[in-house]
Structure 1
Amino acid sequence: MKRNRLWMAMAAASLGAAALAGCGQSQDVAPASASGTGTPAPAAPSAVAAPPGSPAATATATATSTGTAVATGTGAAVATGGECTAAQLKASIVTQPGGGAAGSVYRNLVVQNTGSTACTLQGYPGVSYMDAAGKQVGAPAKRNPEAAMTAVVVAPGGSAVAEVQQTNAQNYGDGCELTEVAGVRVYPPNDTASLIAPQSTVGCANAQIVLMTVGTFQPA
């Protein structure tokens, strides 16, 4: 009887100790998953366009814009100015080196800007022979359709040129009506006034015969 009581007392003590041990253990915490999503990093600020008129906006517009190239005649680079007029030009006829051809000669009509401001020449000049009295001799020059159209800025003291092919008047016989020529009358593009390039030669009074072909103005 005493032995049974002792066994029961020991069993009760063992159960109590186990209960105390259970209460003393801390609760398990599940480890954070390695593949879980953490707190997202703050996003980098997006670019903001500069307001119109600001230095940054102006610099960007300048860097991306393109301009139109303009050829310049002899002389320093200058602003384009307005169209050249006869009043600010001086003209001369210069034979090209080796410019002789069968029955004709290639020459340059050279115009110099004698004014104090730059001006622009673009297109064909009007060209015709004149006698010593200033009267036109024969037909005016025809235009060379293959000549390139270029805007030429001519600085003060600078020049531009237009090629002129002059056919020998003697090639046409009696029908030419040979007439002494004192110069070439030149009308700048879009100008009703003219200037004279001195040249001593002969032309045809017959207006049905065209002795000259002229090109567009080009840089000298």
Structure 2
Amino acid sequence: MAAVAAGAAAGLAGCAQPQDLAPSTTVSSAPASSPAAAGTPAAPAADGTPAATGTATAAATATGGAVGTGGECKAAQLKASIATQPGGGAAGSVYRNVVLENIGSTACTLRGYPGLSYVDAGRRQVGAPAERNPDVVMTAVTVAPGGSAVAEVQQTNAQNYGDQCRLTDVAGVRVYPPNDTASLVAPQATAGCANEQIVLMTVGTFQAP
């Protein structure tokens, strides 16, 4: 009987999923003084827009979704903004952060990539959604009320692509939290490409600020 029990226990251990071993980070209840790097939804296609300069924390509007109660963070309990990293300029692009702040009354968890795409003033998608940066560490970030998590996004200048870009004014970045079909829009006045073959954003996973 002891041998059988030991074999059953070993079999159960072998069924554990890799994500169960991912490290977990708890964010303090105080909002971060300066945003850092950040993640894409498992369900919907992503939406996004290049960020304006500075570290503005602009409120975003949720388009639906249930409020989280200690589980995964949902759009309805979050506020989104885009912040430029200090010294984030690169050749033809800028590194910024997608910042999601928990404005709800309960802690929730963000794990994975956000979905991003540019939108115009009417909240219609402009161009291609963001691609995922594979060279990042996947962590689970617990966000207390008033706290935040960040995902780094590299935004390429639309003007780099000339006439093929079909330059279009952008009003913001649509943000889907991981595993959520509802979204927020982080205001950001910039230029995007109407050409859906041109990808202007590459995003990482959510991390603690």
Q: Structure 2-normalised TM-score?
A: 0.70
Which one of the candidate residues 208, 216, 220 is aligned to 2:197?
208
Q: Residues 83-123 of structure 1, C-alpha deviation per residue, up to 9 Å, x if partnerless?
A: 00000000000000000000000000001000000000000
Unaligned runs of 5+ in 2: 1-20, 31-68
Alpha-carbon contact 1:74-1:160 (below 8 Å) kept? no
2:129 counterpart of 1:175:
no
Q: Which has the larger radius of gyration?
A: 1
Unaligned runs of 5+ in 1: 1-66
Alpha-carbon contact 1:73-1:218 (below 8 Å) kept? no
Alpha-carbon contact 1:96-1:108 (below 8 Å) kept? yes
| Aligned-pair CA distance for 1:193 | 0.3
2:64 counterpart of 1:75:
no
Which one of the candidate residues 129, 149, 157 is aligned to 1:160?
149
Which one of the candidate residues 93, 109, 121 is aligned to 1:104?
93
CA RMSD of aligned residues (A): 1.5
Structure 1 counterpart SS, 2:185: strand
Identity of aligned pairs, percent?
Answer: 77
- Give 2:40's aligned residue: none
Cα 1:84–1:98 change in 2 (3 A) is same
Separation in 2 of the partners of 1:153 and 1:212? 26
Q: Residues 140-170 of structure 1, C-alpha deviation per residue, up to 9 Å, x if partnerless?
A: 0000000110000000000000000000000
Higher share in helix: 1
2:74 counterpart of 1:85:
yes
Structure 1 counterpart SS, 2:97: strand
Cα 1:139–1:70 change in 2 (3 A) is same
| Aligned-pair CA distance for 1:68 | 7.5
| Aligned-pair CA distance for 1:125 | 0.3
Structure 2 counterpart SS, 1:217: coil
Alpha-carbon contact 2:22-2:139 (below 8 Å) kept? no
Cα 1:81–1:208 change in 2 (3 A) is same
Separation in 2 of the partners of 1:73 and 1:189? 17
Q: Residues 159-198 of structure 1, C-alpha deviation per residue, up to 9 Å, x if partnerless?
A: 0000000000000000000000000000000000000111
Separation in 2 of the partners of 1:172 and 1:201? 15
Cα 1:161–1:128 change in 2 (3 A) is same
- Give 1:57's aligned residue: none
| Aligned-pair CA distance for 1:72 | 1.7
Alpha-carbon contact 2:83-2:97 (below 8 Å) kept? yes
| Aligned-pair CA distance for 1:75 | 2.0
Structure 2 counterpart SS, 1:173: helix
What is the number of residues matched between the two proteins?
Answer: 151
- Give 1:62's aligned residue: none
Question: Using CA pairs below 8 Å that are at least 6 residues apart, which structure has the higher relative contact order?
Answer: 2
Q: Residues 15-47 of structure 1, C-alpha deviation per residue, up to 9 Å, x if partnerless?
A: xxxxxxxxxxxxxxxxxxxxxxxxxxxxxxxxx
Separation in 1 of the partners of 2:200 and 2:183? 20
Alpha-carbon contact 1:74-1:219 (below 8 Å) kept? no
